[in-house]
Amino acid sequence: MARTLIKIRRQDDPMDLPYWEIFEVEVEPGMTVSDALEAISRAPVTSEGNPTTPVLWDCSCQSGLCGGCTMVINGRVRQACQVLLEEFDGPVVLQPLTKFPIVRDLKVDRGPMLAALERHSCWTDGAGLGAADGPMSIAKEEEELSVFLDCMMCGACSESCPQVNPRSSFSGAFVFSRVIPLNRSRAGQDGAGQRFAALASKGGVADCAGAENCERACPRGIPLVKAQAMLSWDTALYSARRFFRG
């Protein structure tokens, strides 16, 4: 049976320095990167025969639906449960997402994404949600909007975006996929003004540089470039109305 090397960037604690460890795994047909990580965790011994600690990473559905196992695989942001080892001729190099705080090894803290959603009021209290109200009914009735509800909050769009960096306050394109369904639902109208105000402020939609990396990286194929264009127009109208109303 074929064997391959898995090189993993590890970090024991958020304050510790990162280091690399290499593992060797037997490649079975249909084996994914996530399967390889599970095999390593069951027997955490490096390729040199040194015992080590199990590798920590996020995983849940193993079906590409939760986004938890999103990481950088051979330089590309991908979901570990969807990447076959058969794709690679040489070693497989795994690194955590770089745009989020490290928890340990390949596990990161996606808390900044939740904070961004809070800044943009991306929620409703559920009041009045019924058969004809709210984002869930829109998902069933309007295909154009339902696609935006597929966001898993995996962080792939932020990882691939050059504007998401320590020198920028840009929240990330995932916010767009949450704002659009809310602003176009009756249940979300009460907070629409707050969302537009946030989008019009520093770190909002105007700070998107239009690299379009987000849409290429999105594992769900969400049209984030279209979302940015839609919200740019909506936000401009909102700002114009506020200006002329004084």
Integer Cα distance of 138 and 212 in angstroms: 26
pLDDT greater at residue 152 or residue 124? 152
Residues 13 and 90 in one domain: yes
Total of domains in the chain: 2
Residues 142 and 238 in one domain: yes
Residues 193 and 226 in one domain: yes
User: Looking at 108, 129, 150, which one is the last position of a domain?
Assistant: 108
Q: Which domain holds residue 87?
A: 3-108
Residues 146 and 166 in one domain: yes
The pLDDT of residue 189: 80
Residues 146 and 235 in one domain: yes
The pLDDT of residue 137: 47
Comparing C-alpha atoms, which of 205, 177, 211 is closest to residue 67?
Answer: 177
Residues 72 and 118 in one domain: no
Record the pTM. 0.88
The pLDDT of residue 124: 65
What integer is the mean pLDDT of 15-44? Answer: 96
User: Looking at 66, 93, 108, which one is the last position of a domain?
Assistant: 108
Work out the mean pLDDT of the chain and round it to a whole number: 89
Residues 166 and 217 in one domain: yes
Integer Cα distance of 108 and 24 in angstroms: 24
Task: Provide the token pair at 218.
Answer: 């999105």
- 68-107 pLDDT, tens digit each: 999 999 999 999 999 999 999 999 999 999 999 999 999 9
The pLDDT of residue 143: 64
The pLDDT of residue 135: 45
Q: In CATH, what number is assigned to the domain containing residue 8?
A: 3.10.20.30
Q: In CATH, what number is assigned to the domain containing residue 162?
A: 1.10.1060.10
Residues 143 and 174 in one domain: yes
Residues 127 and 99 in one domain: no
Handedness of CA 59, 72, 6, 28 (dihedral sign): positive
Dihedral (Cα; 207, 212, 218, 221), 10-degree rounding: 120
User: Looking at 108, 139, 174, which one is the last position of a domain?
Assistant: 108
Residues 119 and 226 in one domain: yes
